[in-house]
């Protein structure tokens, strides 16, 4: 079976400094990788980079920000490889649930930047 | 020297957008480019009083800003040891274009416009960012227009720039279908900036000419670079609407409604230009809300007197507008036209149906008050004027509404 572990926290509320935290994440990845349980994973850019998209009556509505409705639940995810946000939003608008739910689009963190 | 610093502020503002766009050829960091321009303005403020205004102030500012950007990029390259920045820095030395040519690159200007108006940014962010980066307004000026603090606007802009940098917003002009899809979010920003010049706020003159002029300048730049029929429709709307600006406010800063305006004050050059652009836009593309509103405005401009206005045509145009933009505000405006064409009772009946959706909308009460007055429904008119006054923040409009209400007094006792 595969399981998705979603990492939730208040942004910038880390309990240790950044290098320590990175080292701890590396240690976790190594341990989980060695045990053969790690199938993938990524950090995301901060929530301020989020764009949410809904498709209603065939037209796309964008919201500048994260998905904030608490009644709806996370039901899955796709990792999209796109040249830019427009392309990602175009693909996101084709996800069937965009018609009745919301798709939040966020870039995977680029540690080089 | 004869030039006052005030004129320079206008030069700075007029040049800001094109210099920023040209600098963006060398960096994708808006903040860094803005810092470089700021430095060029500071140097100009020091140098120009001594040396006099250069022949081409834009080119002068661009040269200084670009040199400053070199420095900033080099420092940041040293700090980050980024090969990318080093490459950019090297490429700067390869540029042999003369400044005039270089900073007039239209493609860069368009890219900046489409980036600042990206639909993934919320509307108020798009407006603030456009005023800052394309119009060169200061954070303080933007804060004043939005009743906000400089700190809040600063934060909004910082967040917007961060999103542009990190969210994968492409720095390019979309093409084909994507261009048509992205255009509305650009046009709505320009329209909002124009409307900001009207929007009511406390203790200020009714029209804020600065915002109107900035919006028109931006619409002109956009139309020049991208002569799309939708852009033409918006530019025509702004020009036609603006042709009546002088007639709208009296010397005592009181509001004058269309009916009472001195039509000889209307700017005929703007009416002519707006009309020509509108005709071209109508010939080149499908009807859209801007073109229809421009056509309505054109009919008002054509009428020699209030009585000779083509009310029937305007009423039909509102029907077309409602099909594209089914909003109760459109129905309100149409009802006012019905009343103006001598059918006040029908108009009043239609307004009753809009009382729910427009419960908090000041123009609804002002319009119903006028129509009730015409029909002799004086106490209705009086209470509607009071509701309208309560919903108004602009002192000029309050004065106008109070004077309207005062006319009822003899009937109410």
Per-residue pLDDT of chain B (413 residues; tens, 9 = 90+): 444 566 777 788 888 888 888 888 888 788 889 999 999 999 998 888 888 888 888 889 999 999 999 888 888 766 665 555 455 444 444 444 455 555 566 778 888 899 999 999 998 899 999 988 888 888 888 887 777 899 999 999 998 988 988 888 988 888 888 888 899 999 999 998 888 766 544 445 544 677 888 899 889 989 998 999 999 999 999 999 999 988 887 766 677 889 999 999 999 999 999 999 999 999 999 999 999 999 999 999 999 999 999 999 999 999 999 999 999 999 999 999 999 999 999 999 999 999 999 999 999 999 999 999 999 999 999 999 999 999 987 777 888 899 999 999 888 76
A-chain residues within 8 Å CB-CB of B326?
none
B238 within a domain of the structure (yes/no): no
Nearest chain B alpha carbon to A59 = B181
Q: How many domains does chain B have?
A: 2
Task: Choose among B249, B255, B269, B114: nearest CA to B190.
Answer: B114
- Could you give the CA distance from residue B213 to residue B204 in angstroms, rounded to a whole number? 17
Q: Which of A85, A92, A105, A113 to mutate to test the interface with B (most CBs of B within 10 A)?
A: A85
- Domain residue limits at B4: 1-103
Query: Which of residues B51, B83, B103 is at a domain's end?
Result: B103
Nearest chain B alpha carbon to A111 = B166
B39 within a domain of the structure (yes/no): yes
B-chain residues within 8 Å CB-CB of A46?
162, 166
Nearest chain B alpha carbon to A105 = B167
- Could you give the CA distance from residue B67 to residue B196 in angstroms, rounded to a whole number? 36
B399 within a domain of the structure (yes/no): yes
Indicate yes or no: CB of B159 within 8 angstroms of CB of A86. Answer: no
- Could you give the CA distance from residue B83 to residue B89 in angstroms, rounded to a whole number? 10
CA distance A36 to chain B (A): 32
- Angle between helix axes B177-196 and B229-242 (nearest 10 degrees) is 10
Query: Which of residues B103, B132, B147 is at a domain's end?
Result: B103
Query: Which of residues B48, B78, B103 is at a domain's end?
Result: B103
The number of residues making up chain A comes to: 113
CA distance B100 to chain A (A): 32
Indicate yes or no: CB of B166 within 8 angstroms of CB of A62. Answer: no
- Could you give the CA distance from residue B188 to residue B186 in angstroms, rounded to a whole number? 6
The number of residues making up chain B comes to: 413
Q: Which helix (H) or strand (E) holds B186?
A: helix B177-196
How many beta carbons lie within 10 A of that of residue B171, not counting itself?
16
pTM for the predicted model, two decimal places: 0.79
Q: For residue B211, what are its two tokens?
A: 């915002």
B30 within a domain of the structure (yes/no): yes
B49 within a domain of the structure (yes/no): yes
B15 within a domain of the structure (yes/no): yes
Domain with residue B375: its CATH number is 1.25.40.10
CA distance A62 to chain B (A): 6
Q: How many CB pairs under 8 A join A and B?
A: 49
B74 within a domain of the structure (yes/no): yes
B330 within a domain of the structure (yes/no): no
- Could you give the CA distance from residue A105 to residue A66 in angstroms, rounded to a whole number? 8
**B82-121 residues touching A, CB cutoff 8 A:** 118-121
* Phi, psi values for residue B242, rounded to 5°: -70, -20
A-chain residues within 8 Å CB-CB of B168?
82, 84-85, 88, 107
CA distance B58 to chain A (A): 33
B-chain residues within 8 Å CB-CB of A63?
122
Question: Please, are residues B278 and B294 in contact by the beta-carbon 8 Å criterion?
Answer: yes
Residues of A engaging B, defined by a Cβ cutoff of 8 Å = 45-46, 48-51, 62-65, 82-86, 88-89, 106-107, 110, 113
Indicate yes or no: CB of B170 within 8 angstroms of CB of A88. Answer: no
CA distance A98 to chain B (A): 16
CA A31 to chain centre: 23
CA distance B185 to chain A (A): 11
- Could you give the CA distance from residue B375 to residue B378 in angstroms, rounded to a whole number? 8
């Amino acid at each position: 079976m595969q399981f998705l572990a979603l990492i939730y926290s208040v942004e910038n509320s880390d309990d240790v400094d950044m290098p320590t935290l990175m080292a701890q994440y590396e240690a976790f990845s190594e341990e989980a990788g060695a045990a053969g349980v790690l199938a993938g994973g990524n950090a995301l850019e901060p929530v301020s980079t989020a764009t949410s998209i809904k498709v209603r009556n065939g037209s796309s509505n964008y919201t500048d920000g994260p998905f904030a409705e608490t009644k709806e639940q996370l039901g899955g995810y796709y990792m999209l490889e796109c040249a830019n946000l427009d392309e990602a939003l175009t693909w996101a608008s084709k996800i069937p649930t965009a018609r009745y739910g919301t798709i939040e689009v966020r870039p995977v963190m680029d540690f080089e930047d | 020297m004869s030039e006052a610093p005030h004129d320079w502020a206008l030069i700075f503002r007029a040049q800001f957008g094109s210099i920023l766009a040209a600098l963006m050829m060398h960096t994708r960091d808006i903040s860094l480019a803005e810092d470089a321009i700021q430095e060029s303005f500071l140097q100009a403020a020091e140098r120009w009083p001594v040396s006099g205004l250069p022949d081409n102030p834009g080119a002068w500012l661009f040269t200084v800003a670009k040199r400053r950007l070199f420095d900033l990029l080099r420092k940041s390259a040293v700090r980050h040891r980024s090969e990318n920045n080093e490459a950019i820095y090297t490429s700067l030395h390869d540029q042999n274009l003369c400044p005039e040519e270089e900073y007039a690159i239209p493609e860069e200007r368009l890219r900046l416009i489409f980036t600042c108006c990206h639909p993934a940014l919320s509307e108020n962010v798009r407006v603030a960012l456009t005023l800052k980066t394309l119009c060169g307004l200061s954070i303080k000026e933007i804060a004043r227009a939005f009743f906000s603090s400089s700190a809040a606007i600063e934060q909004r802009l910082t967040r917007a720039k961060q999103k542009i940098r990190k969210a994968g917003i492409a720095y390019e002009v979309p093409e084909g279908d994507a261009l048509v899809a992205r255009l509305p979010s650009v046009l709505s920003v320009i329209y909002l900036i124009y409307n900001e010049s009207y929007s009511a706020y406390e203790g200020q003159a009714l029209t804020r000419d600065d915002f109107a002029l900035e919006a028109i300048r931006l619409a002109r730049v956009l139309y020049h670079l991208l002569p799309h029929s939708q852009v033409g429709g918006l530019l025509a709307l702004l020009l036609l609407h603006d042709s009546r600006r002088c007639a709208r406010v009296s010397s005592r800063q009181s509001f004058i409604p269309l009916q009472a305006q001195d039509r000889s004050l209307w700017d005929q050059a703007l009416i002519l230009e707006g009309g020509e652009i509108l005709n071209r836009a109508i010939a080149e593309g499908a009807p859209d809300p801007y073109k229809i509103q421009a056509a309505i405005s054109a009919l008002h401009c054509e009428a020699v007197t209030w009585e000779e206005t083509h009310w029937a045509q305007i009423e039909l145009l509102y029907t077309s507008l409602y099909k594209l933009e089914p909003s109760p505000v459109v129905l309100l405006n149409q009802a006012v036209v019905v009343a103006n064409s001598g059918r006040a009772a029908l108009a009043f009946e239609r307004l009753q149906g809009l009382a729910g959706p427009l419960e908090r909308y000041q123009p609804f009460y002002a319009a119903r008050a006028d129509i009730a007055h015409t029909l002799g429904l004086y106490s209705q008119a009086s209470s509607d004027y009071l509701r309208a006054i309560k919903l108004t923040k602009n002192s000029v409009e309050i004065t106008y509404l109070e004077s309207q209400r005062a006319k009822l007094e003899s009937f109410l006792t």
